[in-house]
Structure 1
């Protein structure tokens, strides 16, 4: 059986400021670092990882480093795990995006199947293609074992949507994927969701 843990990077400065990040970056907050360390303690006590894949963004690389505490060498960057590209929206607050392009902003959150990415970024269909490719290669490369992928909220939502065999209109269905949360999938003949968007607390690591 192939087991896949998905971790959303820890909380960042732009998360706190409610800014769109996409392919741009901002540093982890102290809370974000603590979130990553708690996930690291979870894996140290409860799971042995065979390989770690990470988005090439700074916030995911920092999160992965805190999780493994420099004690794990099997870390591979994969650009297919990068967050959706948001073009000229990146760095803007949600309110600024709404003022700049309310129609597209509303489509992004309320009608993802109709989102056109007039901001110069990616559509959800673009993201879907690269996420599908990552999952397909994962199953081909690893017939069994436990894999960790440190990635982003929209990527995790897309993976959940694909596993549920839903259409883009259902992308934003619960649960919400908080910073530093865990999502766990298993695959024998097909993927299934064990849990999603779980926040790791200190008490669970005792």
Structure 2
């Protein structure tokens, strides 16, 4: 069995301004930095020896990883990036259409604006995370820093049933196991509120 922690980046300026950021980027705020520090404190208490570190190519994700771990020996992967919202990138969130039911996100809506569909996000996230897990050694532990919508769609692809999740707050940490090609969700922890949203560690 292999384990990994999949977490969202800390708060950014665009989060505060309620602007869409998928492939576009915005720096961490002071609050975001503190959130990442709290996430690091939580992981330190779990005492995992992190054998491998991965981040999306966005600076808000790589900066979060460096604050959490104090390390720079990580790999940046485009497959872990946020959803591409096309022409909506950087625009106010109130311009978004209403999400589809049953966790389908926005379906194909953003394709017409040069962005990604929900299925495309699910495909690349599963492909990327599965490739990571197949490349690391048995018994290893990894940390992956990605983005809220991408993480949610990954969960909806690989988990059945999928826990009721209505967005992930900044720096939420999802603990997974991977065994014989199967993903299992162990817990979801919100380090800012210091509470488990799902499951809980022994």
Q: State TM-score, norm by structure 2.
A: 0.84
Q: Is the 8 A contact 1:50 1:74 kept in 2?
A: no
Once the two structures are TM-superposed, the CA of residue 113 in structure 1 deviates from its matched residue by 6.6
Q: 1:156 to 1:61 in 2, by over 3 A?
A: same
Aligned residues: 190
Distance 1:54 1:201, change over 3 A: same
1:116 alignment partner in structure 2: 109
Hey, what does 2:199 align to over in structure 1?
none
Greater shift in the superposed pair: 118-127 or 55-64: 118-127
**2:86 alignment partner in structure 1:** 87
Deviation at 1:90, TM superposition (A): 0.9
Deviation at 1:4, TM superposition (A): 1.0
Contact 2:158–2:183 under 8 Å retained in 1: yes
Moved more, 84-93 or 105-114: 105-114
Q: Structure 1: 5+ residue runs without aligned partners?
A: 99-104
Please, which of 138, 155, 159 is the counterpart of residue 160 of structure 1?
A: 155
Q: Is the 8 A contact 2:177 2:186 kept in 1?
A: yes
Q: Are the counterparts in 2 of residues 9 and 151 from structure 1 also a CA contact under 8 Å?
A: yes
Q: 1:111 to 1:67 in 2, by over 3 A?
A: closer
Which stretch shows the higher mean deviation, 184-193 or 113-122?
113-122
Q: Please give the alpha-carbon distance, in whole angstroms, between the structure 2 residues aligned to 1:123 and 1:41.
A: 35
1:158-189 superposed Cα distances (whole Å, 9 cap, x missing partner)? 121122146xxx8x941531001111111223
User: Is 1:16 the counterpart of 2:7 in the alignment?
Assistant: no
Alignment partner, residue 176 of structure 1: 167
Alignment equivalent of 2:120, drawn from 126, 131, 139: 126
Q: 1:39-76, CA deviations, whole angstroms, 9 ceiling, x for partnerless residues?
A: 1222333222111100010100111111122xx34300
Equivalent residues in 2 for 1:1-206 (5 A)? Answer: 1-46=1-46, 47-69=48-70, 72-95=71-94, 97-98=95-96, 105-107=97-99, 112=105, 114-117=107-110, 118-142=112-136, 143-165=138-160, 173-189=164-180, 190-196=182-188, 198-201=189-192
Question: Runs of 4 or more off by more than 4 Å in structure 1?
Answer: 107-111, 201-204
Relative to total residues, which structure has the larger helix share, 1 or 2? 1
- CA RMSD in angstroms comes to 2.4
Distance 1:151 1:115 in 2: 21
